[in-house]
Amino acid sequence: MTTTPRRVAVKVPATTANLGPGFDTLGLALSVYDELDVQVRDEPGAHVTVHGVGAGEVPTDESNLVVSSMAYTFEAMGRRMPGVNVTARNTIPHGRGLGSSGAAVVSGIMAAKGLLQGDVEIDADTLLRIATDLEGHPDNVAPALFGGLTIAWLTTSGPKQKRLIVHRGVAPLVFVPQFTMSTKLARSLQPASVPHEDAIFNVSRSALLIAALTQSPELMLAATEDKLHQNYRAAAMPETAKLVTLLRNAGYAAVVSGAGPSILVLADGPGQRLAAAELVATQADTPWQAMMLAVDFKGATVTPVDDDERLAPESR
């Protein structure tokens, strides 16, 4: 008789969306992670313990985004969610444009997937559909779920995604400021329509960006040009806009990470990445934390934990 796990471990990467011209479409998984330990308990309800980012700030009951995403997934699968104790170890910065809310949503979904193993199997399309239902759009949740570079789009039958392998020469660098940015505010600054020539401009750059990220990193500066969203949001985060301009004028492929205010630099090698970090360290007017990262190729994982707390092989 198959039994469902009573304890699972979850690991979900940070993400950066848009990548310049690929507004609401392109996303990249990065090597910064939030991790969960979720254990079924006999009592109903949920209790969350948070270590690291968000400790003392995020809810620790059923209203926690991880727990509510878990509950939504159980309901979507026609099952009642058990009581759980959740321990979160967070390293993804909140409110900085690195997909922290998407990671929380995906963490809850993956925890539910793990706890339902042996009872209900949740395939990749269903994972993406549930995550998009909860997050509102798939550009952050797709790379969080599947890793690598993802192209996400919506159809009448639901969200879809294609995962691509990033060229090994691409070296991501993220500059994280001390201040935050509301995604809701950032999106409210977008116009309802854009000029025809701007739309054409971004279509060409998005196509070029796929080539740059997968085959030709030397094209990255031209490929990350954008006219659809960054300029409209610049007034809300002037420090970010100023640093993006400084970096791009110096030849670095810098863009706003997601809704901001962090900045992503897609360097075409470790040497260029180090040079960009040195430029910011010596010329930026405000403090920025430089994070030299790798592309995460694995995406979210969930692992059953046995009674001896030994990890079983990872599953997706």
Q: How far is CA 217 from CA 19, 102, 221, 254, in A?
A: 14, 27, 9, 13
Question: Is 95 annotated as contributing to ligand binding?
Answer: yes
Cα(121)–Cα(136) distance, rounded to whole angstroms?
A: 23
Cα(291)–Cα(280) distance, rounded to whole angstroms?
A: 12
Cα(99)–Cα(88) distance, rounded to whole angstroms?
A: 16
Residue 310 carries which DSSP code? P
Q: How far is CA 219 from CA 9, 50, 208, 229, in A?
A: 39, 41, 8, 21
Cα(265)–Cα(267) distance, rounded to whole angstroms?
A: 6
Question: Is 71 annotated as contributing to ligand binding?
Answer: no
Within 8 A by CB and 6+ apart from 237, the residues are 179, 181, 256, 260, 261
Question: Is 21 annotated as contributing to ligand binding?
Answer: no
Q: Do the Cβ atoms of 122 and 111 come closer than 8 Å?
A: no
- Please state, as a whole number, how many other Cβ atoms lie within 10 Å of the Cβ of residue 13: 30
Question: Is 52 annotated as contributing to ligand binding?
Answer: no
Cα(2)–Cα(206) distance, rounded to whole angstroms?
A: 47
Q: For residue 297, which amino acid is it?
A: F
Question: Is 97 annotated as contributing to ligand binding?
Answer: yes
Question: Is 108 annotated as contributing to ligand binding?
Answer: no
* DSSP notation for 270-283: HHHHHHHHHHHHHH
Question: Is 93 annotated as contributing to ligand binding?
Answer: yes
Would strands 46-52 and 83-90 be described as parallel, antiparallel, or unpaired? parallel
Reported residue count of the chain is 316
Question: Is 102 annotated as contributing to ligand binding?
Answer: yes
Q: Give the three-class secondary structure for 286.
A: coil
Element (H, E) at 183: helix 183-188
Question: Is 199 annotated as contributing to ligand binding?
Answer: no
Question: Is 101 annotated as contributing to ligand binding?
Answer: yes
Detail the residues annotated as belonging to a binding site for ATP.
93-103
Detail the residues annotated as belonging to a binding site.
93-103
